[in-house]
Structure 1
Amino acid sequence: MAGLLSLLTVIAKHGSFKTPATDFAFLQKSQLAGFEKFLPNQSLPEKPLPHKNLIVHQFKSTGAHLKSSLRQQGGHLVAPEKKLFYVRIPKAANTSCSFALLKINFPDLPKTITSTQVNLITDCWLEDKVGPALKTLTGFTVVRHPLHRLVSVYRDFFERNDSDFIYNDYLFGILPKSLSFDEFVYRISKIPDRLKDQHFRPQRQFVASYLKRKIPVKIFKLEKPEALQKFLSAYGLEFPHLNQTPPYDYRVYYSGSTLKIARNMYASDFALFNYDQ
């Protein structure tokens, strides 16, 4: 309850009923035109009618996010031929791992495909029901140092000008693109973990449903790619290095107070995945 009250306080102070609507249907159609044969229904969904009233749109958008967050158990991509499934964790080699599994299911998937296209196709095939049938498969995922992962989110979505900004109408627009890193960390720390967007949700939440049901998931660290490549090689797969960025020092983004907030926010990730703070 305290977490929800903190979120409502941030929305009341920084939110708006009139932030621009993000047109995800247009993004999907524009990016996946020509890729229909790799989609479940071999076609793109019809674009919904736009909401002329931004206030109505904000409530519908927020309601849809809350419903999805509270309902979802997990999120994995299955390659039946290899008896393999991958638990997707955004900003932790997600694009590369998703491409590797999609390539099994669709051998003619072009290597020239963009990272955005890989992720949009993965969205269409992601399964969220965590059941006993998964015990007959081998599961794996990749995690990343929590502080580095958070900086990666900020750099990709808030610093870059050549990417679609997906947080315009997220929780009534409390995360505008103009946010400083310190303010970004402060505001997302006020969002209950279950309601956080997938890009900055604690990584433990992505594997919790599997661990709770005693479904084995091999966990690899992004910082140790050799172990992941050895695992994939056993299945005849390569680890493609997609969505790479030039090296940078993520630590320079953190002031003392922001570092403390981030460490507290991801304390369970540090403990579960054995990362140094």
Structure 2
Amino acid sequence: MTSWVAIDFETANEHRGSPCSVGMAAVEQGRVVRSWSTLIQPPTELRHFNPYNVRVHGITANDVATAPRWKAVLADILSFADGRPLVAHNAGFDLSVIRAACDAEGIAWPELRYSCSQVVARRTWKLLTYGLPHCMDAAGLDFTDHHNAEADARASAEVMLAAMQEASISSLDNLLAKHRIRWGSMTPDRQWRGSQYGRERKPVPGANPDADPEGALYGLTVCLTGTLASMKREEAFARLADAGAQPTKSMTKKTNILVSAEQTQLKPGGVLSGKSKQAQALLDAGQDIEILDEDEFLRRLGP
């Protein structure tokens, strides 16, 4: 994907459905080729301008008095996008503006695919904060007109392009795949999902049915909490499975044992972890469950 469109909204007030300005920037073959913006009359019931928002972007109710309404602007947005995916910096906000404004005007959501330059920036640079000005600085680019929707859209596009250059990748699809970031989407039947980074999660191994049935952990469901000193969690899961136990990542009514690394250091009156509190609640409810410290866990696990 070498052609896409960046988008940015400003809102009249704290409600996501009060867009008062939108800017867009089209990217083709690794550069911004065109940009566009317009003021917007927010939906009638959300038309008040909060002084805080006005201080941020400088747009007032008088400025939008003759601006187009949301339905017409949405048509222009879709025409500018022309079927291409969208990119926004903090896309969760900008795409929620589209959904909320459509809801306020009784309009069906458009079908869109999108990604987030802020999510990509988090996988590209190590910064204290990932606001648009800081990401532009990390990309080595000047940025002086923050909260002007067209300038922000161009900046979001430039941040994404800089991240692509940093990764030596020319395709947005390939960049997202490299960083394990999924596309976000919304559909006219009101289905949506965010564009997010997803860590690769290793599956929990199943219990070895051929393990020694006389083993101390055979046939039991075992959950772990805290950081073990003796081994990494993946190794602990593997050894539990080899011993015929079923390791699990969460406490359930099937859990027989909670191995708590913190129990070894826990003093009377100390604060229990969330899983330890769950174990105590299950025990109080009559469930047969034990909490083991790391030393006892290792003794039962065996050599």
In which range does the TM-score fall when normalised by the shorter chain? under 0.3
Q: Which has the larger radius of gyration?
A: 2
TM-score of the two chains, using structure 1 as the length reference = 0.22
Higher relative contact order (Cα pairs below 8 Å, separated by 6+ residues) = 1
Structure 1 or 2: larger helix share? 1
In proportion to residue count, which structure has more strand?
2
TM-score w.r.t. length of structure 2: 0.20
